[in-house]
Amino acid sequence: MDVQTRAEKAARKLLSGDRASHSFDMRLDTIRPGYAEVSMVVRDDMINGHKTAHGGVVFTLADTAFACACNSHNITNVAANCQISFVRPALLGDRLLARAEEISLGRRSGVYDVRVENGDGKLVALFRGMSMSLDRPLFEEDME
Amino acid sequence: MDVQTRAEKAARKLLSGDRASHSFDMRLDTIRPGYAEVSMVVRDDMINGHKTAHGGVVFTLADTAFACACNSHNITNVAANCQISFVRPALLGDRLLARAEEISLGRRSGVYDVRVENGDGKLVALFRGMSMSLDRPLFEEDME
Amino acid sequence: MDVQTRAEKAARKLLSGDRASHSFDMRLDTIRPGYAEVSMVVRDDMINGHKTAHGGVVFTLADTAFACACNSHNITNVAANCQISFVRPALLGDRLLARAEEISLGRRSGVYDVRVENGDGKLVALFRGMSMSLDRPLFEEDME
Amino acid sequence: MDVQTRAEKAARKLLSGDRASHSFDMRLDTIRPGYAEVSMVVRDDMINGHKTAHGGVVFTLADTAFACACNSHNITNVAANCQISFVRPALLGDRLLARAEEISLGRRSGVYDVRVENGDGKLVALFRGMSMSLDRPLFEEDME
């Protein structure tokens, strides 16, 4: 199986069971080996007490892009550790785009950087995730 | 106004406008100056592609407890930087409890540690948040 | 070998080769399974451009305590990811004490919290380290 | 004063008092507004118990580059929060280069990313620092 097909199948497998991302109306815009773009519009049920997008919502978007990128080689990976810096508030109606990029990949773990931008291309948040491999495939390649 | 009344009013003000926490059915269990406990049950629309609670959902719970604790002195604070370590998956139906504690508070910023535990008291995640003060009250104390 | 003897031998093995900690005159004050205390005095060659202890020096102290704690079970562990929050500057002549505590330990990785305090017991920095196991002993138990 | 001259004077001021960086033989290779490159050779007194560069030494290099970048506008900034991911060990004799880049700069705080590479251009560590402004100049511009 070529690496691009593998990445697409892995993302489809991952997202098909991801009820949380679905309930946030997230959309996978791009998937490549070690790379993913996921977008979402800030709805009124995603607003916090400061009248901006809840930090948890911005994190969830970044985390979903991270999950797609770190599972794209069809080795099951889970998040071990994440860091997020909030740079600019996201507002009601903003379309947020999260781009996750693989910075480093070892046998046991990997590091991924995610930028979340608003519709004007302004930086909303920076996210860095460390993934840990569970040493098993996400889907059986022979059975597909 | 005594500090406990201030903390309660601040949390009420903050959460009354927090649509995201409401849509997750979060409940404020305890609020004190610099301290908050928030709980939530993992619903089936919070599950990720690995069949466990989405990391973003666990983060959102911890972040909400952090927000209640760091705004409890009636000085508006926002999250600047958060770190989360995922220790144990949370499962469908688990009641998660996040306890946020003020570790350090300066004029400009504060540090808060949040533990997220499942119904058996087992650690699910550790969260550390840095808040930044906006130097203005959350509510006008004279007007209350 | 009992767990306390193992922890002591592991720390001795680790620190005997640690030239960096020696050149900082660090001292192991306490070692137990999953726990370590390391102290150090801020010398004038550890000061930064703001006339306080260089953040890297405070980090190095915390990181050394973390290394002692996460290698105390005689399984070689390395730091994968660390986070540090600087709360209060450390000054020339301060004796700093770092206490590293195991918060969670899995087969592949562990989470450790380290508090760095000055001689007055005031908090200087909070450090959180994630260790990754290399699945091999630090020293051969049979050969000792 | 033009921004490049300001950045150079700020770095000179900062490093002239930085005894810790001097004792590590760090060298400022490049300074621009919001950007700095600092390099260093791993000496035998910087080695840890695993026979690689002590994580604290790698952190100290990254932190110094971060300090130069975040003080380059002649507004005194200190590190509030740093995160480091260790990707590849650095070895005795390696020349390490840290490149610090300003990702975001607000009135109160900024975010800086630092890459540490070895002499072969391979990634050793990723560092992210959050600076906090003390709202005062590093040097008096009129007096220079």
- Per-residue pLDDT, averaged over B11-27, amounts to 95
Look up the CATH number of the domain holding residue B75. 3.10.129.10
Q: Are residues D79 and B80 in contact, defined by beta-carbon separation less than 8 angstroms?
A: no
* Weakly modelled stretches of chain C, pLDDT under 70: 143-144
Q: What is the pLDDT of residues A90-113, one digit of tens each?
A: 999 999 999 999 999 999 999 999
- Per-residue pLDDT, averaged over A117-123, amounts to 97
CB of C103 within 8 Å of a chain B CB? The answer is yes
CB of B132 within 8 Å of a chain D CB? The answer is yes
Q: Is residue A140 part of a domain?
A: no
Q: Is residue C139 part of a domain?
A: no
Q: In what order do the strands lie in the sheet with A35-41?
A: A27-32, A35-41, A95-105, A109-117, A123-133, A77-86, B77-86, B123-133, B109-117, B95-105, B35-41, B27-32
Determine the residue of chain A that is closest to D131 in CA distance.
Answer: A85
Q: Is residue B142 part of a domain?
A: no
The backbone torsions φ and ψ at residue A60, rounded to the nearest 5 degrees and listed phi first, read -60, -40
ipTM over 0.90: yes
Contacts with B130 from chain D: Cβ below 8 Å: 80-81, 130
At A64 the three-state DSSP class reads helix
CA-nearest of C83, C81, C69, C35 to C138 is: C69
Q: What is the pLDDT of residues A6-62, one digit of tens each?
A: 999 999 999 999 999 999 999 999 999 999 999 999 999 999 988 899 999 999 999
Half-sphere exposure of A90 (CA within 13 A, CB side): 32
Q: Is residue D143 part of a domain?
A: no
Q: Looking at the complex, report in whole angstroms how far the Cα of residue A12 sits from the nearest Cα belonging to chain D.
A: 29
**pLDDT band for position B143 (50/70/90)?**
low
Question: Is this prediction's pTM over 0.90?
Answer: yes
What is residue A144's predicted lDDT score, i.e. its pLDDT? 47
Q: Name the CA dihedral angle for A11, A16, A21, A25, rounded to a multiple of 10 degrees.
A: 100
Cα–Cα distance list, A144 to A1, B41, C57, D81 (Å): 10, 36, 53, 46
Q: Is residue C141 part of a domain?
A: no
Q: Are residues A80 and A134 in contact, defined by beta-carbon separation less than 8 angstroms?
A: no
Using N-to-C axis directions, what is the helix angle for C55-70 and D55-70, rounded to 10°? 150
Question: Which residues 54-93 in chain A show a CB within 8 A of chain D?
Answer: 83, 85, 87-88
- Distance CA(B12)–CA(B112), nearest Å, equals 20
Contacts with D109 from chain B: Cβ below 8 Å: 80, 132
What is residue C15's predicted lDDT score, i.e. its pLDDT? 95
Q: Which of B83, B104, B126 sits opposite C87 (nearest CB)?
A: B104
CB of D128 within 8 Å of a chain A CB? The answer is yes
What is residue D44's predicted lDDT score, i.e. its pLDDT? 94
Residue range of the domain that includes B91: 3-133
Q: What is the pLDDT of residues B125-135, one digit of tens each?
A: 999 999 999 99
CB neighbours of D125 closer than 8 A, spacing ≥ 6?
Answer: D58, D59, D62, D84, D85, D86, D87, D88, D115, D116
Task: Report the domain count for chain A.
Answer: 1
| Residue from B87, B105, B127, B132 to probe the interface with C (highest C Cβ count within 10 Å) | B87
Q: Are residues B100 and B65 in contact, defined by beta-carbon separation less than 8 angstroms?
A: yes
Q: Are residues C134 and C80 in contact, defined by beta-carbon separation less than 8 angstroms?
A: no
pLDDT at B33 over 60: yes
Q: Is residue B97 part of a domain?
A: yes
| Residue from C75, C78, C81, C131 to probe the interface with A (highest A Cβ count within 10 Å) | C81
Q: Is residue D78 part of a domain?
A: yes
Neighbours of chain D (3+ CB pairs under 8 A): A, B, C
| Residue from A104, A105, A122, A124 to probe the interface with D (highest D Cβ count within 10 Å) | A104
- Distance CA(D53)–CA(D105), nearest Å, equals 32
Which ranges of D1-144 would DSSP assign to H, the alpha helix?
3-16, 19-23, 55-70
Q: Looking at the complex, report in whole angstroms how far the Cα of residue A128 sits from the nearest Cα belonging to chain C.
A: 11
Q: What is the DSSP letter of B71?
A: T
pLDDT at B144 over 60: no
Q: Is residue D140 part of a domain?
A: no
| Residue from D88, D104, D108, D115 to probe the interface with A (highest A Cβ count within 10 Å) | D104
Q: Looking at the complex, report in whole angstroms how far the Cα of residue C67 sits from the nearest Cα belonging to chain B.
A: 18
* Weakly modelled stretches of chain D, pLDDT under 50: 144
Contacts with C47 from chain D: Cβ below 8 Å: 17-20
Q: What is the DSSP letter of A94?
A: P
Please indicate whether, in this complex, the C-beta atoms of D83 and B80 are within 8 angstroms of each other: no
Please indicate whether, in this complex, the C-beta atoms of B126 and C130 are within 8 angstroms of each other: no
